Amino acid sequence: MLQISVEDSEIGPGEAHRWHLVPLTGGDPAPRRMTGYNQAKHFTVAQHAQSVDEPIRSYVAASFELAGPVDLDALAVALLHLVRRHEVLRAVYQPLGGDLGCEVLSPGEVALKHVYAGPLETPAEVERHLHDAFKEVDTLSWPLITMGAVVRPESTTVWFSCDHLVTDGLSSAIAVNDITTAYRSLTAAGTATEAATEAADGPEADRVRPARPARTEDAAQQPGSYLEFSRGQRRANRAMRADDARLDYWRAFRDRNGGLFPRFPLDLGVRPGRLYAPTAGTERLLSARQAEAFGTACRARGGRLSMGLLAGLAIALRQEGGPEVYRGLVPVNERGRGVYAESMGWFINTLPIEFPVGPRAGFGEVLTAAQDAYGQLQAHAGVHFVKAWRLLAPAEYARLHYWPHAVNFYSYIDFRRLPGADRHAAQRARLHVWVSGCNGLLQWLHRTDDGLFVNTIHVDTPQARATNRALLDGFTRVLTDAS
């Protein structure tokens, strides 16, 4: 799965179809539930942005190909299967006493409405259509997922877009696998499915009929609920106070760093307190063979490839004028290998990390330091970043509605290890992340069968462009030299 802007995806023209998620009346009201730490902060930020008429928009979307003529009825059932399978997509979110709660629609209380959106005759029209459709998701409005397809005689591009409130990058791969598995099961069996919606002229266009569940739906195979996970996480941290010993790791990092948010150490040509229009791009840093060689070199030094990449990035930053101590934030997947392994939701904790990267230190030494630092980080992963922020910097927590400055951030995903990865290349599976504004530089490193890639979003200033180019060139040199 490649993380890439939709503008660079090269999706061919075709007939555009949309499926809108709609609630069905009836059923007993569901009990109100608490939401995740990330969700509560994200919703509050969106509320504030709306109140001051400064909307900060974003989406996490994905697209993939189905080969051959498409069965639109089966596709509608597969899309509805996704929503019925993951509770977080059926939740309706409401403010709750300064926090965020939600009520969940049952699987039988949601349906899809099909709309034929007309022909898209050029790749540019496809790009505009998808980007506009992706942007329709809004943190403060339900539903928080939108879905569609671009249909051609020989293939179909299926897509969906979610607000970050209900998803993360790993969720996108999970969703692609769920949709694909359901669709293949339905079409392979020759199942005559009832369409999720009916596209017609006049009054018929507004009719909504729920699709029958895909036959792949098996209660025993249902993934765990992100909302239940969040409830447990909240319960575990409910009694925590600012002087709790579990916050010692965070407190020590804050004191050495001068705050919870580590600054990106290179010049980006930005002014404090301002958001800038972003620019984005994806490029391959290492071929598949080179990535394998680098992984072998890391293992020979007693480390993992992911920590080797972090060490290489720290060295590249230092070579470009950065500090001799690397400080950054690292997103950590909280799903584990149990019931939540294939669940959709925002299962990400963000934790601080620091380790030395002196001018005389070689790659192996920095790798060891990064590996040791990550071990310390994992030992304190039970405390969520939002909870630590609220307790250790309460005034800043209440005041800040986006990161206070350009923040140093490290992210790596090996998409080859995710569900359905064996089909990613044939399906041209793509992850699309977009933000309307930013104040720094974000790099998402990811590995596919074709090698190591980086998707970058940064402020669109001349200095940021130059800094990003120099950093990526230096980073690539460090990786190849270490191999």
Residue 166 above 50 pLDDT?
yes
Name the residue with higher pLDDT: 112 or 50: 112
Checking if the pLDDT of 133 tops 70, the result is: yes
What's the confidence (pLDDT) of residue 208? Answer: 52
User: Which range of residues forms the domain containing residue 105?
Assistant: 2-231
Q: Which residues contact 339 (CB under 8 A, 6 or more apart)?
A: 223, 224
In a domain, 236, yes or no: no
Note the residue count of the chain. 483
339 burial via Cβ count (<10 Å: 0-12, 13-18, 19+): middle
Lowest mean pLDDT among 28-32, 274-278, 288-292: 28-32
**Same domain flag for 469 and 414:** yes
Place of tokens 């970058």: 456
Q: Are 157 and 149 in contact (CB under 8 A)?
A: yes
Q: What is the mean pLDDT of residues 274-278?
A: 92
How many CA atoms does the CB half-sphere of 90 hold within 13 Å? 23
Q: Is 95 helix (H, G, I), strand (E, B) or coil?
A: strand
Say whether pLDDT at 353 is over 50: yes
In a domain, 83, yes or no: yes
Average pLDDT over residues 293-315: 97
> Token match 């018929």: residue?
204
Clarify whether residues 195 and 256 are in a common domain: no
Better-scored residue on pLDDT, 417 or 395:
417
In whole angstroms, give the CA distance from residue 339 to residue 375: 24
User: What is the average pLDDT across 131-140?
Assistant: 96
Main-chain dihedrals φ then ψ at residue 180, nearest 5 degrees: -65, -45
State whether 297 and 442 are in the same domain.
Answer: yes
Within a 10 A sphere around the Cβ of 190, how many other Cβ atoms?
Answer: 8
CB burial class (10 A; 0-12, 13-18, 19+) of residue 143?
Answer: buried
Residues 179 and 307 in one domain: no
Looking at the structure, tell me whether residues 260 and 144 fall in a common domain: no
Which of 231, 265, 286 corresponds to the end of one domain?
A: 231
pLDDT band at 449 (very low <50, low <70, confident <90, very high): very high
Least confident of 51-65, 83-97, 192-206, 362-376: 192-206
CA triple 458-419-351, angle to 5 deg: 45
237 within a domain of the structure (yes/no): no
pLDDT at 207: 44
User: What is the overall mean pLDDT for the chain?
Assistant: 91
Whether 203 is covered by a domain: the verdict is: yes
Looking at the fold, whether 346 and 413 belong to one and the same domain comes out as: yes
What are the b/e assignments for 62-76, b being 16+ CB within 10 Å?
Answer: bbbbbeeebbbbbbb
> Would you state the structure tokens that stand for residue 216, as one six-digit string?
């792949």
Instruction: Tell me: do 365 and 407 sit in the same domain.
Output: yes
Domain shared by 272 and 292, yes or no: yes
- Rounded to whole angstroms, the Cα distance separating 455 from 221 reads 33
Q: Is residue 436 part of a domain?
A: yes
SS (H, E, C) 350-364: EEEEEEECCCCCCHH
Average pLDDT for 404-426? 96
User: Each residue of 197-215: pLDDT tens digit?
Assistant: 333 333 333 445 444 444 4
CATH number at residue 89: 3.30.559.10
DSSP letter for 218, please: -
Final residue belonging to a domain, choices 231, 260, 295: 231
CA-based max dimension of the chain: 74
In terms of domains, do 195 and 268 share one?
Answer: no
Q: Are residues 360 and 274 in the same domain?
A: yes
Total domains in the fold of the chain: 2
On whether residue 162 sits in a domain, the answer given is yes
Domain match, 269 and 220 both: no
Q: In sequence order, what are the residues at sequence separation of 6 or more whose Cβ sits closer than 8 angstroms to the Cβ of residue 150?
A: 11, 12, 13, 14, 15, 16, 17, 120, 126, 129, 130, 156, 157, 159
3-class SS letters over 281-322: EEEEEEEHHHHHHHHHHHHHCCCCHHHHHHHHHHHHHHHCCC
Q: 19: which residues sit within 8 A by CB, 6+ positions away?
A: 76, 79, 80, 112, 113, 114, 115, 147, 148, 196, 197
As a whole-number percent, the residues of the chain with pLDDT over 70 amount to 92
**396, pLDDT greater than 90:** no
Rg of the Cα trace of the chain?
23
Instruction: Using a pLDDT cut of 90, give the percent of the chain over it.
Output: 83
Domain stop point among 190, 211, 231: 231
249 and 220, same domain (yes or no):
no
> Mean pLDDT over residues 258-271, rounded?
96
In a domain, 345, yes or no: yes
Give the domain CATH number at 302.
Answer: 3.30.559.30
